[in-house]
């Protein structure tokens, strides 16, 4: 994860006079290149080992295991047989996989072109004090991001249900007492409530990310621009937006990583239905593994998911790297 997002100043003042830069890639300190005396090496090991051990045992070892199991027909019991890439080939010829990918794609789209720009605009409004009651709006819009997926899924399951909140509101406005909302029964549209929920839930996080970074804007630059006759449009388009380009890119990386991760809401809200039309790859994997006990196949889906998100993030990072370099020159 390269690049600076924001300093921890909002968590409390940094202990030294300088603001803390966030980690920039692998280079933590120039001093990393040297090695410490033996006593210091023991301290290093003592401090680092517990975290690394738990992490490696619970996350890395299972991932490697998945990689191996994905090449077998393991079904939870009995001995696995090596079957090469059969699971992968089978997955790529399965229409459910492609529906899952389509829906994951839509989730990426709503994150990149919904949550992020909206989050930026809301942060900009609050940072520039374009309206009154900034703090109030900030607090309200951030709140949904703390809710648990189960809570959100249950709540919005009722909101979008055939005779749920939206149906009844529409019904009472149009005087159709029996109005029912059939979005959950539509092949192509069943994913839409989920996309709306994602927009509702997570835009606040992007607002908070942009707000933290906007607060680092050099105030003198703004004041100077105003003295030179800049209006609000100029400030937005020529000072603030160019400054936030790296943040947009990092937000995009988070959005992609997140888009492939979450599926709990969908699991409870639609369970991928009707039949499989609202599934996403995470859910597809869980169902194959725990409903059909196709451990090998499920592992193959897990591998594809991880490869997809790493691939997209690498593309974005290289774009980010080039853009940042261009801005620095």
Partner 1 sequence: MERVANTDIPLALKAAAYVALGFFTLFTLFPLVWLGYTSLKPEHEIVQSIIAWPHDWTFENYVQAWQLGEFSHLFLNSILYSVVTTIVVVLLSLSAAFAFTKIPSRFTPIWYVFILMGLLVTVSSAIVPIFVAENFLGIVNTRIGIIIPYIAFNISFAIYLAAAFIRSISDEIIEASKIDGAGYMRIYWSIVLPMSRPIITTIAIFTFQACWIEYVLVYMLSSDDSIRTVQVGLSLLHGQLSFNFGFLFAAIVIAQAPLFILYVFFRRQLQAGFSMGSVKG
Scan residues 113-152 and list those touching partner 1 (CB under 8 A).
Answer: 115, 118, 121-122, 125, 128-131, 137, 139-151
Please give the Cα distance from 316 to 254 (Å, whole number). 11
106 versus 225: smaller Cβ distance to partner 1: 225
Q: Which of the residues 298 through 327 are near partner 1 (CB under 8 A)?
A: 298-299, 302, 305-306, 309-310, 313
SS3 322: helix
Task: Provide φ and ψ at 72, rounded to 5°.
Answer: -125, 175
Q: Of 128, 139, 178, 181, nearest to 157 (Cα)?
A: 181
State the minimum distance, in angstroms, from the CB of residue 221 to partner 1: 9
Residues in contact with partner 1, shown as a per-residue x/- string from 243 to 272 under the rule CB under 8 A: -------x---xx-xxxxxxxx---x----
Our separate counts of H helices and E strands in the chain read 15, 0
- Decide: is 198 part of the binding site for partner 1 (CB under 8 A): yes
68 versus 187: smaller Cβ distance to partner 1: 68
- Decide: is 91 part of the binding site for partner 1 (CB under 8 A): no
Return the structure tokens found at 315: 């593309």
Peptide bond before residue 274 is cis, with ω within 30 degrees of 0: yes
42 versus 187: smaller Cβ distance to partner 1: 42
- Over its C-alpha atoms, the chain yields an Rg (Å, rounded) of 24
Q: Which of the residues 5 through 24 are near partner 1 (CB under 8 A)?
A: 5-8, 10-23
CA distances from 152 to 110, 196, 197, 264 (A): 18, 12, 8, 10
- Decide: is 89 part of the binding site for partner 1 (CB under 8 A): no
Which of 75, 89, 169, 241 touches partner 1 by CB under 8 A? Answer: 169
* DSSP 8-state assignment for residue 76: S
Which of 231, 325, 326, 329 touches partner 1 by CB under 8 A? Answer: 231
Q: Which of the residues 173 through 192 are near partner 1 (CB under 8 A)?
A: none
- Decide: is 35 part of the binding site for partner 1 (CB under 8 A): yes
State the minimum distance, in angstroms, from the CB of residue 274 to partner 1: 17
- Decide: is 28 part of the binding site for partner 1 (CB under 8 A): yes
Please give the Cα distance from 157 to 180 (Å, whole number). 14
Farthest-apart Cα atoms in the chain, separation: 81
Q: Of 149, 181, 185, nearest to 273 (Cα)?
A: 185
29 versus 326: smaller Cβ distance to partner 1: 29
């Amino acid at each position: 994860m390269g690049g600076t997002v924001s300093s921890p100043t909002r968590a409390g003042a940094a202990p030294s006079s300088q603001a803390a830069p966030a980690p920039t890639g692998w280079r933590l300190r120039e001093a990393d290149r040297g090695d410490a005396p033996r006593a210091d090496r023991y301290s290093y090991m003592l401090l680092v080992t517990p975290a690394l051990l738990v992490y490696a045992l619970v996350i890395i070892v299972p991932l490697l295991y998945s990689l191996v199991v994905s090449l077998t027909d393991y079904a939870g019991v009995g001995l696995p047989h090596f079957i090469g890439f059969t699971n992968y080939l089978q997955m790529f010829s399965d229409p459910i996989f492609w529906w899952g990918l389509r829906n994951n794609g839509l989730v990426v789209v709503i994150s990149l072109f919904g949550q992020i720009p909206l989050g930026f605009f809301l942060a900009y409004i609050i940072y520039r004090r374009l309206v009154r009651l900034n703090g109030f709006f900030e607090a309200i819009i951030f709140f949904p991001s703390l809710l648990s997926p189960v809570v959100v899924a249950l709540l919005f399951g009722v909101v979008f249900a055939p005779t749920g909140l939206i149906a009844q509101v529409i019904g009472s406005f149009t005087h159709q007492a029996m109005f029912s909302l059939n979005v959950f029964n539509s092949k192509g549209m069943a994913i839409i409530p989920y996309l709306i929920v994602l927009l509702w839930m997570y835009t606040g996080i992007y607002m908070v990310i942009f707000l933290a970074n906007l607060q680092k804007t050099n105030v003198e630059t703004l004041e100077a621009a105003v003295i030179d006759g800049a209006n609000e449009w100029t400030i937005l388009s020529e000072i603030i937006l160019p400054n936030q380009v790296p943040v947009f890119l990092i937000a995009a990386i988070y959005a992609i990583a997140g888009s492939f991760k979450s599926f709990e809401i969908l699991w409870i809200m639609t369970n991928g239905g009707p039949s499989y039309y609202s599934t996403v790859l995470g859910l597809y994997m869980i169902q194959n593994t725990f409903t059909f006990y196709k451990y090998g196949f499920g592992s193959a889906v897990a591998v594809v998911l991880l490869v997809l998100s790493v691939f997209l993030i690498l593309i974005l990072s290289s774009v980010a790297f080039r853009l940042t370099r261009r801005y620095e020159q």
